[in-house]
Amino acid sequence: MGKERIDAAFAKVLEKGDKAFVPYIMAGDGGLENLREQVQFLEDSGATVVELGIPFSDPVADGPVIQEAGLRALANGTTLDGVLQNLSEWKESRSIPIVLMTYFNLIFSYGIEHFAARCVEVGVDGLIIPDMPMEEEDMVTPTFSEHGLALIRLVSPTSPKSRIEKIAGSTEGFLYAVTVKGTTGARSKYEEGLSDYLQDLKQFSSAPVLAGFGVSSPEQVRELSSYCDGVIVGSKIVELLASGKRQEISEIIQAAKVSETII
């Protein structure tokens, strides 16, 4: 349950010599009634864990593509409670771990204890809270730990080394390595020194290190995952899912399957 399920999912992939792949989708984009099928498609395509975004009116970490997906989901009437209820309805048939990406305001409004307990009830395994700094984590960590929920931390290339070491050392499930200076969204190139940054993180973190923000092609998946344990792809997955280009999604996910690459 929770953190243990995430750990097991990563171990299974990495022990094979493959890299982990975490796709991000926005809950309710396209209608909550389609969420189960969307997650099943991602699992069938080879995803390790699914990161599920909760739509929010002020998403400070999100670029235009994910912001628009959030607005579509909100227009569909998607709420945090609605997402959790939907997840509960097919909990027993779901085997892939689910990580919620949400902003702290929603958790606080829901009630931290109530939220954590409900996450366990519906089969959520971990949380990513991009607007919660390390200094404020104590508001949630005791409750999350009590319920076995992983708190996945984010690190940025702009953070001082001492701060990066602390965050990397305390993360659970995996370490979310932000690769760019800015919000989410596809990038055509990365800044110099990225490989050193990712390899340094592997020294600091006992959990798998995954690179996210700006990953949008099979080539980028292969390049970035060669420096760490895998990748997180959000904006490109959201864009392709909304336009029905599922074969392209499968190709991006399959790029993480190193053991199946023909040389």
- Of 51, 200, 229, 239, the active-site residue reads 51
- Of 7, 29, 43, 62, the active-site residue reads 62
- pLDDT for the residue 193: 83
For residues 214 and 234, give the distance between their C-alpha atoms in angstroms, rounded to a whole number: 8
Mean pLDDT, the chain, as a whole number?
93
DSSP letters along 196-231, please?
A: HHHHHHHHH-SS-EEEESS--SHHHHHHHHTTSSEE
- pLDDT for the residue 187: 44
Q: Which CATH code for domain 3-260?
A: 3.20.20.70
The answer to whether residue 51 is catalytic is: yes
Alpha helices in 92-188 (DSSP H): 104-110, 112-122, 141-146, 161-170
State the maximum Cα–Cα separation within the chain, in Å, rounded to a whole number.
52
Region 200-213: mean pLDDT is: 95
Query: Which of 23-32, 77-86, 172-181 has the lowest average pLDDT?
Result: 172-181
- pLDDT for the residue 247: 97
pTM of the model: 0.93
Region 135-157: mean pLDDT is: 97
Query: Which of 55-64, 144-153, 184-193 has the lowest average pLDDT?
Result: 184-193
- pLDDT for the residue 58: 81
Region 209-230: mean pLDDT is: 94
Q: pLDDT above 70 covers what percent of the chain?
A: 94
Which residue ranges make up each domain of the chain? 3-260
Q: Is the predicted pLDDT of residue 221 greater than 70, yes or no?
A: yes
**C-beta of residue 157 within 8 angstroms of C-beta of residue 194:** yes
**C-beta of residue 25 within 8 angstroms of C-beta of residue 55:** no
Tell me the CB-side half-sphere exposure of residue 207, using CA atoms within 13 A: 25
The answer to whether residue 146 is catalytic is: no
